[in-house]
């Protein structure tokens, strides 16, 4: 008599069901999650997000008040001397490239949008230094347009939680769109970022204290 093989185990939960549970638990665990960058208007958030590349939000929040006081409008940002701008933002790193992007974006905002930051994804991603990540941050915080911001934390956690197997942020964003209700896109991003910084750390996630431990497949996490 041939030996019987065990039936393959079915996944504990589908990605859709898992996403629903994780979204709900993140909401319970991080009720105060919000954008960590300090800003008062769309222009300030746009600039702060550009500065945040390869830099901590804490450092950006230390540097940005000086810049915003010196250049409160897109017109002044577009006209500031290159050397002065670079010196102000130097602590954020990659300051030459960031200064170039900020000035070029400000010039286009002045020339094409009368000094006001545009409020659509298609318009924002045409600005120098602005990709979908920055655009979604600005849209979600300043224009009440839901968007998923795929930074390193959101991308890493999404793969670890089995929401995607993609590395490209645009493809990760697309996969998350299919799993997370649109009205939650913006706040879901903030909660994932907070979770990635506090518990689901890249090198050594704190799975023993994680509120998602029983539903997360922990893909790529060391045992």
Domain boundary among 113, 142, 171: 142
| Structural tokens at position 209 | 């204290």
For residue 29, what pLDDT band results from cuts at 50, 70 and 90?
very high
pLDDT score for 13 = 61
Taking only the tens place, the pLDDT of each residue in 189-217 is 999 999 999 999 998 999 999 999 999 99
For this structure, is 208 an active site residue? no
CB 13 within 8 A of CB 21: yes
The verdict on residue 10 lying in a domain is no
191 in the same domain as 127: no
User: Rounded CA gap, 211 and 195, in Å?
Assistant: 10
The answer to whether residue 10 scores a pLDDT higher than 90 is no
**pLDDT tens string 93-107:** 999 999 999 999 999
Average pLDDT, the chain: 93
> What pLDDT does residue 221 have?
73
pLDDT, residue 220, reads 78
Same domain, 67 and 129: yes
Same domain, 106 and 25: no
Query: Which CATH number fits the domain that encloses residue 86?
Result: 1.10.340.30
Catalytic residue of the set 82, 133, 206, 214: 133
Mean pLDDT of 165-185: 96
- The Cα–Cα gap between 33 and 108 comes to 32
pLDDT-derived band at 1 (thresholds 50, 70, 90) equals very low
Full residue range of the structural domain in which residue 192 is found: 15-34+147-209
* pTM of the predicted structure, to 2 decimals: 0.89
Give the residue-averaged pLDDT of 102-114.
Answer: 98
CATH of the domain at 185: 1.10.1670.10
Q: Are residues 195 and 113 in the same domain?
A: no
pLDDT at 2 over 80: no
Q: Quote the pLDDT of residue 222.
A: 64
pLDDT in tens, 115-147: 999 999 999 999 999 999 999 999 999 999 999
What would the 3-class secondary structure string for the chain be? CCCCCCCCCCCCCCHHHHHHHHHHHHHHHCCCCCCCCCCCCHHHHHHHHHHCCCCCHHHHHHHHHHHHHHCCCHHHHHHCCHHHHHHHHHHHCCHHHHHHHHHHHHHHHHHHHCCCCCCCHHHHCCCCCCCHHHHHHHHHHHCCCCCCCCCHHHHHHHHHCCCCCCCCHHHHHHHHHCCCCHHHHHHHHHHHHHHHHHCCCCCCCCHHHCCCCCCCCCCCCCC
Q: Which of 98, 103, 151, 175 is catalytic?
A: 151
What value does the mean pLDDT take over residues 66-84? 97
Is 151 labeled as catalytic in the residue annotation?
yes
Residue 5 lies in a domain: no
């Amino acid at each position: 008599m041939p030996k019987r093989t065990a039936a393959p185990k079915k996944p504990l939960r589908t990605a859709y069901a898992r996403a629903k549970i994780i979204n709900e638990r993140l909401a319970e665990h991080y009720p105060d999650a919000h954008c960590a960058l300090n800003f008062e208007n769309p222009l300030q958030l746009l600039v702060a997000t550009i500065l945040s590349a390869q830099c901590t939000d804490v450092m950006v929040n230390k540097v940005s008040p000086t810049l915003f006081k010196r250049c409160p409008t897109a017109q002044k940002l577009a006209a500031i001397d290159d050397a002065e701008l670079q010196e102000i933002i130097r602590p954020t790193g990659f300051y030459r490239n960031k200064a170039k992007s900020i000035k070029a974006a400000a010039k286009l905002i002045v020339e094409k949008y009368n000094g006001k930051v545009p409020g659509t994804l298609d318009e924002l991603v045409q600005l120098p230094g602005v990709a979908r990540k920055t655009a979604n941050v600005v849209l979600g915080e300043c224009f009440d347009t839901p968007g998923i911001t795929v930074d390193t934390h959101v991308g890493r956690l999404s793969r670890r939680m089995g929401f995607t197997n993609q590395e490209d942020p645009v493809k990760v964003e697309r996969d998350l769109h299919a799993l997370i209700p649109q009205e939650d896109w913006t706040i879901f991003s903030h909660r994932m970022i907070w979770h990635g910084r506090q518990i689901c750390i890249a090198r050594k996630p704190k799975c023993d204290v994680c509120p998602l431990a029983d539903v997360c497949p922990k893909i790529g996490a060391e045992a």
